[in-house]
Structure 1
Amino acid sequence: MMIERIRAAGSHLLLAGTAVVCAFPIYWLFATSLRRPEDVTSLSPFPWPISPANYADAAEKVDIAGLLGNTFLVATLSAAGQLLIALLASYAFAMYTFPCQRLLYLAFVGTWLVPFQVTMLPNYVLLTRLGLIDSLVGVVLPTLCSALAVLLLRQHMASFPKELVAAAKIDGRSSWSILWTVVVPNLRQALAALAILLFINAWNEYFWPAVVLRRSNGVLQLGLRSFMGTEGDQWGPMMAVAGLACLPVLALYLLLQRHIVNAFVRSGLK
């Protein structure tokens, strides 16, 4: 009994230490943003005296509210589009049988292994011909399909009880009705976990918006470039904007935390 308690205490100490190591960069980010401009490079672990000067400087330099709104819109549309397409594709791959099904599935998932740099140029040329360069629509459109999302959801779909689907078909329900009234309500945890992963990925994206938005800082990650110059980087305002960029993702995680934990727990059950 004593050995088990010691092991449990050691495990908790290890987890606590790991949590501190992982959380420290976030703490240092906010600590730096709250220092006075002349103390930005200070190595003191505590920002004292606390000053909002960096946030005021950042607000004068860029439109923080506009950048946050644009980034939230892009991330939401991208994540929602990927989730919807992945849901429909994974349902078809898991619930239907058709010729060359496995080959098509492997080819679809195989697109996940194609580097983004390979598809970047064709996407850019297509957006240029459509007149969507330097627009938020051009940022979102090429990201609406995610092979990784299909792969993850298909695994959950494959383990879904086929008896429930068969019973719904006997009741006369269509495939569309079965998907939204039988399958989706039982995959809320998996969908929530996947949604937050897709949202965070779209929220943190820098390279593709930098390619499409040539003449504007339409999203928050590009707005951070405003604090970088040949005369030196403005670390205080940059940390302030970066800290604000973390808050929506943290709020989303806290909102969906229970569903995310349940999804990972269920994924390990047979």
Structure 2
Amino acid sequence: MTTSLEMTLAAPASSTRHANPASVKWGRLLVHATMVLLCVIAVFPIYWMVASSFKAENEIFSLDLWPQSPSLDNYRFVLNQIPMLRMLANTTIVAGVTAALHVVTGLFAAYALVRWRFPFARVVYGLIALSWLVPFQVTMIPNYVLASKLGLLDTLAGLIIPHAAAAFAVLMLFQAMKSFPTEIIEAARMDGAGHWRILWDIITPNLRASLASLAILAFISAWNEYFWPLLLSRSIENSVVQIGLQMFMTQEGNLWGPLMAASTLASLPILLVYGVLQRQVIESFMKSGLR
């Protein structure tokens, strides 16, 4: 019986060792060819956007992969028609501050829910989880009325404050906080450390990966926000880049060349963030379960 079991366990290794090298080679080629095809499908729209931004108006609908006479006229038109650089700066400020506030408020709330003992803690956690299921479009009108009464219309603060706290941030950091070793926290308490020192000196340095993931996701989400700035903004100088893109889409027709140029400028910061923090961006989407 032992001999038959040993032969059974050794069979897969033997079959792998004696596999046909040609079939293994073709299998790898098929996998790599599929990956290359998927990469081309994913990257080609970005390439087409950039290439179209250099095309003249009469070349926009041509199928040439690169313009016959590349020109920067579309970029000049965009910079002359709208304050594109000002909008990019506004969007960067809104996205950066929103991401920072998500990290801070999520960290405080997660620590309180995990480490503090208070009545109805589970109910509070459940309400936070339920609020994540409510679309922002449902609360947009009440937020607008409140922002109007507080004098936050057409301000960057009005774009930031309603997004200062997010249920997603609390839930994401709650799981990371809950898995943190309790023994380390108890040892710090025995040494006389309070909640503030435990949070900032012990827990936060060990949650840098989760905090970085949350910051990246919050930054990208705030950068792509459209409905709330559209509702709150009154002047183009205090608006964001997503509103600027809409100005090249009119009832008479779309200005495809300038629109592609403006889209390229709007995509550069996000592409730069992805290029610098590629590994962290991928890990953030994997940890959050987003695609």
Match of 2:185 among 165, 185, 201: 165
> Structure 2 CA distance, aligned partners of 1:88 and 1:165?
16
> Structure 2 CA distance, aligned partners of 1:261 and 1:41?
34
Deviation by residue 1:119-142 (Cα, 9 ceiling, x = unmatched): 111111111111111111111111
SS where residue 103 of structure 2 aligns? helix
**Do 1:70 and 1:219's aligned partners in 2 also have CA atoms closer than 8 Å?**
yes
Aligned partner of 1:189 in structure 2 is 209
Q: Which consecutive residues of structure 1, in runs of 5 or more, have no partner in the other structure?
A: none
Aligned partner of 1:35 in structure 2 is 55
SS where residue 207 of structure 2 aligns? helix
- In the TM superposition, residue 262 of structure 1 has moved relative to its aligned partner by 5.3
- In the TM superposition, residue 144 of structure 1 has moved relative to its aligned partner by 0.8
Aligned residue pairs, count:
268
Bigger mean CA offset, 200-209 vs 148-157: 148-157
Q: 1:258 to 1:173 in 2, by over 3 A?
A: farther
**Do 2:214 and 2:284's aligned partners in 1 also have CA atoms closer than 8 Å?**
no
Deviation by residue 1:111-160 (Cα, 9 ceiling, x = unmatched): 01112222111111111111111111111111111101111111111111
> Structure 1 CA distance, aligned partners of 2:136 and 2:287?
32
**Do 1:67 and 1:223's aligned partners in 2 also have CA atoms closer than 8 Å?**
yes
**Do 1:82 and 1:145's aligned partners in 2 also have CA atoms closer than 8 Å?**
yes
**Do 1:188 and 1:259's aligned partners in 2 also have CA atoms closer than 8 Å?**
no
Aligned partner of 1:92 in structure 2 is 112
**Do 1:35 and 1:47's aligned partners in 2 also have CA atoms closer than 8 Å?**
yes
Code of the residue aligned with 1:153 in structure 2: it is L
**Do 2:216 and 2:284's aligned partners in 1 also have CA atoms closer than 8 Å?**
no
- In the TM superposition, residue 7 of structure 1 has moved relative to its aligned partner by 4.8
Bigger mean CA offset, 178-187 vs 223-232: 223-232
Match of 1:234 among 255, 262, 266: 255
- In the TM superposition, residue 189 of structure 1 has moved relative to its aligned partner by 1.5
> Structure 1 CA distance, aligned partners of 2:66 and 2:271?
22
Code of the residue aligned with 2:113 in structure 1: it is F
Match of 1:123 among 143, 155, 161: 143
TM-score by length of 1: 0.91
Code of the residue aligned with 2:192 in structure 1: it is G
**Do 2:147 and 2:153's aligned partners in 1 also have CA atoms closer than 8 Å?**
yes
Q: 1:64 to 1:197 in 2, by over 3 A?
A: same
Aligned ranges for residues 125-140 of structure 1 at < 5 Å? 125-140=145-160
**Do 2:158 and 2:232's aligned partners in 1 also have CA atoms closer than 8 Å?**
yes
- In the TM superposition, residue 229 of structure 1 has moved relative to its aligned partner by 2.3
Match of 1:67 among 87, 97, 107: 87
> Do structure 1's residue 112 and structure 2's residue 113 form an aligned pair?
no
- In the TM superposition, residue 71 of structure 1 has moved relative to its aligned partner by 0.7
Q: Which consecutive residues of structure 2, in runs of 5 or more, have no partner in the other structure?
A: 1-15
**Do 1:210 and 1:222's aligned partners in 2 also have CA atoms closer than 8 Å?**
yes
> Structure 2 CA distance, aligned partners of 1:137 and 1:255?
28
Deviation by residue 1:44-96 (Cα, 9 ceiling, x = unmatched): 22233321111111111111111110111111111111121111111222223
* Aligned-pair identity (%): 43
> Do structure 1's residue 258 and structure 2's residue 272 form an aligned pair?
no
**Do 1:33 and 1:240's aligned partners in 2 also have CA atoms closer than 8 Å?**
yes
Aligned partner of 1:249 in structure 2 is 270
SS where residue 227 of structure 1 aligns? coil
- In the TM superposition, residue 34 of structure 1 has moved relative to its aligned partner by 1.6
SS where residue 98 of structure 1 aligns? coil
Code of the residue aligned with 2:277 in structure 1: it is L
- In the TM superposition, residue 191 of structure 1 has moved relative to its aligned partner by 1.3
The structure whose Rg is larger is 2
Match of 2:36 among 16, 20, 44: 16
> Structure 1 CA distance, aligned partners of 2:84 and 2:258?
11
Aligned partner of 1:154 in structure 2 is 174
TM-score by length of 2: 0.85
Code of the residue aligned with 2:255 in structure 1: it is Q
